[in-house]
Amino acid sequence: MSKAVFPETTGNESQKPQDGGTRSASDIRNALSALFQGDFAPLRARAQDTPDMTVKVNAAVIQGYFAQVNASGQPVSFSGGNSSAVSAPSSNPRIDILYLNPSTSSLGWVTGTESASPAADWSGLPEGAIPICLVYCKTTMTKIVNYEDKDANPNDGYIYQDVRPVIGGGGGADEKVKADNNDPTPGYLDAKVDNSTIEVDASSHKIRVKDGGINGAKIASSAISQAKLKTATGEVSDTSGKQVLILPGGEYGFYPRVKGTNKSIVTFAGGNDYTSSLPSSYKPIIQSKYATFYASQRYITSSGKDHWIFLLVAKKDILDKKGNLRRKKGSLIASYQAPDHPATNNGADLTAIPHPFGSYDPEKHEIVIVDNGILYEAKKRITRKRGLLEVINEDFIIDDWQRPKFEPREIILIDEFGDLEGEEIKRMKTPQWAKIMIQPEEISLKRKIVEQLPDFILYKKMRLKR
């Protein structure tokens, strides 16, 4: 289908077919094709009847009824008129944009850049302007003709493209916004944010939360999922019968449930054959001799946003005293999972308790923190008889092919005495149900961020066993 144009008489209607004249199918088809292709009367740009270096533009309202051109939410008032004259380019062709400024009802030009392959300069379109047409300007031009007459006038400029917006209403490349209905001054987004909480990144041109912009003082307690006390369950396991493990509940933990093989002997101790002395601060530690065991502990917590999975893995083949292979390199020795870091309820000292493995030997063992991407799949496999840690130990293996990046994680501390470090996010009364473990009438909830892991702790992904 070739370009069709209304052969108008008044600028508002087609002159063919004429009343009383011959009914020509081609005339009717041409008029309908022009309408189908997008030609319409409002703001229609055409060459002058005697072409010159200006363009004539129809009114925005047709027959006093069709007011379909809108800007800023209301009809545009423009009675039609002629553009100012363009000048011929000096050395190369140029494409100019003819536009209407709806606030002043005046026509204007965005003059393009001369080039062997010219393009319209849309970045120069004023804010709120309604583009009307593009004019292709030649160095030899003395007038502007209509598109359909360009071949008959090869040395002259011509209306190159109709760019009236059919949907929407112009706007230009430089849009500003108002903060609300009562904001008197439109502006760019960087002028509408406070730059202390929210900012506009000058390099990416995106809105973002400013570093340190949101803290406990700016977030209502009801909006912080961790700003309340609840209970959670964590687990530890040992497959070697030789490990001392720190329980996740710490001073807020209830007595753990345990299970294992028939030969498991589980003890709660501070000193034993595998640690030389009692710990210097209170820590609930558990140990099994001879066989595999699992311990599950419910405890009071305020955390839960970031999950923690620790694995203790054989760094090399481990032999017993008789020289027999006890643990093959890469095999799992012990593990821990809970919605809290093991230090959280055990004094909150991440330096003193960076992991839950009391029998860690850097010559024999590697410690791995697991990426939480496995949790969705792992939790689907939990049953009444198999907890999360058992699922992880039995159904998943470490994926050494991937190298995930550790992202900072938060821990939320219960501070009974006001002596723990961290950002206070809430001061609250101790719930009655929690007083079985927490004595003060009021406590603080504090946030600490684990920005990075110690050098000796690895961060890895796991995958399902094949």
| Assigned domain for 234 exists | yes
CATH, residue 158: 2.80.20
416 in the same domain as 324: yes
Contacts of 211 (CB under 8 A, 6+ apart): none
DSSP assignment string, 94-136 = EEEEEEEETTTTEEEEE-----SS----GGGSPTT-EEEEEEE
With 90 as the cut, is the pLDDT of residue 198 above it? no
With 50 as the cut, is the pLDDT of residue 252 above it? yes
402 in the same domain as 372: yes
Range of weakest confidence among 99-113, 262-276, 293-307, 316-330:
262-276
- pLDDT band of residue 366 (cuts 50, 70, 90) is very high
269 in the same domain as 207: no
Structural domain of residue 135, as residue ranges? 40-162
- pLDDT band of residue 7 (cuts 50, 70, 90) is low
**Number of independent structural domains in the chain:** 3
d(CA 254, CA 277): 25
Q: Each residue of 156-195: pLDDT tens digit? A: 999 999 999 875 444 444 567 777 778 877 777 778 778 7
**Tokens 């204007």, residue?**
108
Would you state the pLDDT for residue 15? 58
322 in the same domain as 253: yes
Q: Name the residue with higher pLDDT: 100 or 190.
A: 100
Token representation of residue 390: 């058992």
Q: Chain-wide mean pLDDT for the chain?
A: 83
With 90 as the cut, is the pLDDT of residue 319 above it? no
Cis peptide bond upstream of 17, omega within 30: yes
Would you state the pLDDT for residue 186? 77
Would you state the pLDDT for residue 225? 44
Would you state the pLDDT for residue 4? 57
d(CA 249, CA 345): 6
Q: For residues 245 and 333, is the Cβ–Cβ distance under 8 A?
A: no
Range of weakest confidence among 48-57, 258-267, 356-365:
258-267
β-pair partners for 92: none
DSSP count for the chain of H helices, then E strands: 3, 28
Q: For residues 462 and 392, is the Cβ–Cβ distance under 8 A?
A: yes
Is 230 in a helix, a strand, or coil?
strand
Would you state the pLDDT for residue 68? 78
203 in the same domain as 107: no
| Assigned domain for 118 exists | yes
Token representation of residue 114: 């001369």
With 50 as the cut, is the pLDDT of residue 385 above it? yes
Q: For residues 391 and 381, is the Cβ–Cβ distance under 8 A?
A: yes
Q: Name the residue with higher pLDDT: 460 or 37.
A: 460
Is 433 in a helix, a strand, or coil?
helix
Taking only Cα atoms into account, the Rg of the chain, rounded to an integer number of angstroms, comes to 38
Nearest to 187 by CA among 196, 203, 197, 200: 200
Stretch 105-116: mean pLDDT, rounded? 95
Would you state the pLDDT for residue 276? 40
Would you state the pLDDT for residue 23? 62
Residue 450, amino acid: V
Would you state the pLDDT for residue 19? 60
Q: Each residue of 267-289: pLDDT tens digit? A: 655 444 434 444 555 556 676 66
196 in the same domain as 56: no
Token representation of residue 14: 């087609």
